Amino acid sequence: MTINRKGKICLVTGGNSGIGFETAKELSLRGSKVILLCRSADKAEKARKEITALHPEAEIDLAIADLSSQKQVRTVAQEILEQYPKIDVLVNNAGAWFSEFGRTEDGFERQWAINHLAPFLLTHLLLPALLEAKDPRIINISSDSHFHGKIHFDDVNLSKKYHGLRAYAQSKLANVLFTHEFEVRKPVEKLSVYAVQPGLVKTDIGLKHTVSFHGLMWKLRRLVGKSARKGAETSIYLASSGEVRGISGKYWDNCHIKSPSYTADSPVAAARLWDLSMEMCGISKYFP
């Protein structure tokens, strides 16, 4: 059963390309008003034009922020709240990959900041609008890379022993742990939160900010990857289906629940990560 999403408000981070774009496009075609939260205004506008060319009645709004900056996350969240007192679906899709170590303006390793801390902070900041919806849903895009991940609590920035794949796997594991712990601590039962494995998708994430060897590996992986449209199917399903209402805190793959890694199922690791993330994001209480 597909819910009538006409009149619903859906926010998709990284909605200008890849899985995010396909998710935003389909939700728009199904009647939702979609907010594209993107780093580049030009790319966001291009995505809006592509969607409205296919569906002239589509309602697409734009929000611009560099998610590596907590200051910009806070600013854009406030702007969104001022314009939208209610949000029905939040898709934390934006992600990054970096071969080489680098820190954000807040002092955090870039993949950790963009892939984990940004959705953690944004979700908390937008919670007042989500709580105004009858059936609010939060969809966190993770990856089966989390099976190879470990949260390096003694050095989550991996400043002493950085490797791009290690940092990526850690951030994707954090997405699943965040999802599980959010389910434990959520303030109201009606909130549903999901972690998603989109599969091996032909996107450009591994071709940007990468050394030549890693770039070659990503290109080879893309040869057997699925399309971004196929990769978005589970996100679209979780945002639209009445069948999954209330089935919260789970890890999903190909529109079905999947068992995550042993580490991702650890309540101790999830609670510890939550507290660390609260501190790193400067959040003084669980929910606003």
Q: Which residues pair with 9 in a beta bridge?
A: 33
Query: Which three-class secondary structure state does DSSP give residue 186?
Result: coil
Closest CA to 13 of 116, 158, 107, 110: 116
Q: Which of 168, 194, 237, 251 is catalytic?
A: 168
Q: Which candidate, 206, 149, 194, 197, places its Cα nearest to that of 174?
A: 149
Contacts of 263 (CB under 8 A, 6+ apart): 149, 150, 151, 173, 269
Per the CB < 8 A criterion, the answer to whether 180 and 121 are in contact is no
Of 119, 127, 234, the closest CA to residue 191 belongs to: 127
Q: What is the C-alpha to C-alpha distance for residues 35 and 29, in angstroms, rounded to an integer?
A: 13
Instruction: State yes or no: is 168 an active-site residue.
Output: yes
- Please identify every residue annotated as catalytic: 168
